[in-house]
Amino acid sequence: MAEPVTYTVECGGERIDVYLSALTGKTRSYIKQLSDCGGVLLNGERFKCGKILKTGDVLTVTEEEKTLNAEPEELPLEVIYEDDDLAVVNKRQGMSVHPGAGNKSGTLVNALLYRFGKLSAAGGEIRPGIVHRLDKDTSGVLLVAKNDKAHLSLSNQLSRREVKKKYLAVLEGNVKSDEGEIRTYMGRSPRDRKKMAVLPQGKEAITFYKVLQRFRSNCFAEFYIKTGRTHQIRVHAQYIGHPVVGDKTYGYSKQKFSLNGQLLHAAQITFKHPSTGEELTFMAPLPDYFKEVLTKLEREGE
């Protein structure tokens, strides 16, 4: 069996099969079959069909290992740094970090297994070596653990908020203040379970931003996140009325540029080496398509 995955319900009122289907992208019939076999537990126990969830309920999902399995695959991979304990890679836009439903190949994990062979097992069968993630259409620097000791050290640094990450983004419109803090609570959107949203309840999300360059109808900004919520920067950018350019989920329905995803790039990461304790900083340069948009925006003001 694969490693169990736990979900805490942030907004109740839905049937379990409906909730998990929207969350995972799998069919309700598959969820039901999995439940019948004991693969879905509610607060640690089996449940009757049609059970309605309450806020705070905990769902534990355990799938057959064969349904999700990561295999080595020769794929383009930019390695910024590597040693016996870890690697730092520059993930390209459009590449998922690990296999999932309907996405069992072509991921960063497949490429990492081909390149390095052995990775830490702490992330589970389909997430070997993965300490933290980036959205599929977000590019940039990402840490990979080669052994469990390194994985534990890096994970602890992340949980203690000691890892510093800088992101760069092009936003719609111009943010009024040159810099600021966005502090909200975030959770799964009650309208669309695949999306996140700012909610009265949920987990605290803190984002700092600074405008680096202003254009006629856009701005170029850097972001630092104190918390690491799913889609945090994208949701917060939408929340302040300036979504990330190219964001098909949280951005404008009509986009100015022909892009394959949002202009959000993880540009820099700082952490302590798990073996030596030395503070290290690594950077990933902006992708060409990102720089091309910045050039076009600069020309608009000429």
In angstroms, the Cα distances linking 116 to 84, 123, 214 are: 10, 16, 42
Q: Is 135 a catalytic residue?
A: yes
Which tokens belong to 67?
């349904």
- Give, as one character, the DSSP assignment of residue 189: -
Radius of gyration (C-alpha) of the chain in whole angstroms:
20
What is the spatial distance between Cα 163 and Cα 271, in angstroms, rounded to a whole number? 5
Asked if 81 contacts 88 with a C-beta cutoff of 8 angstroms, the reply is: yes
What is the spatial distance between Cα 247 and Cα 225, in angstroms, rounded to a whole number? 19
- Out of 135, 137, 178, 192, which one is annotated catalytic? 135
List, in order, residues 6 or more apart from 24 with CB less than 8 Å away: 31, 61, 101
Pairing state of beta strands 139-145 and 264-272?
parallel
Which tokens belong to 13?
């009122």
**CA 180 to mean position of chain CA atoms:** 23
Residues assigned a catalytic role? 135
